[in-house]
């Protein structure tokens, strides 16, 4: 998930997430561009970060549901706590 603070976005890598299907990632928006949008107080920044975070939560919940069905919730939860990005964990 992304924080909506300028310093949190500026301190990370050049892109959001390569594997994220959200419009912010697939649209090719860089973290530098989001940093600029936040600094300019553009509402587009909030929209892109919100769409990214919603896609993240949707993938996480899909992984957790699949893990519950497969009986591997403990392993998937440990992977998520360890920093693994959702999307195919289960």
Whether residue 89 is contained in a domain is answered as no
Whether residue 11 is contained in a domain is answered as yes
Supply the pLDDT for residue 85: 84
Whether residue 60 is contained in a domain is answered as yes
Whether residue 87 is contained in a domain is answered as no
Whether residue 58 is contained in a domain is answered as yes
For the chain, the domain total comes to 1
| DSSP code for 12 | S
pLDDT at 48 over 60: yes
Supply the pLDDT for residue 18: 60
- Between 35-39, 65-69, 73-77, 84-88, the lowest mean confidence (pLDDT) is in 84-88
Range of the domain at 58: 6-81
d(CA 59, CA 33): 24
C-alpha dist (Å) from residue 62 to 31, 55, 59, 77, 85: 26, 11, 5, 13, 12
Q: Residue 5: pLDDT band by 50, 70, 90 thresholds?
A: low
């Amino acid at each position: 998930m992304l924080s909506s603070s300028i310093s949190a976005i500026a301190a990370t890598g050049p892109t959001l997430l390569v594997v994220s299907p959200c419009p912010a990632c697939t649209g090719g928006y860089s973290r530098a561009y989001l940093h600029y949008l936040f600094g300019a107080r553009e509402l587009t920044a909030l929209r892109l970060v919100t769409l990214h975070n919603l896609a993240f939560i949707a993938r996480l919940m899909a992984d957790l549901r699949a893990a519950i069905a497969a009986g591997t919730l403990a392993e998937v939860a440990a992977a998520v706590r360890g920093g693994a990005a959702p999307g195919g964990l289960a």
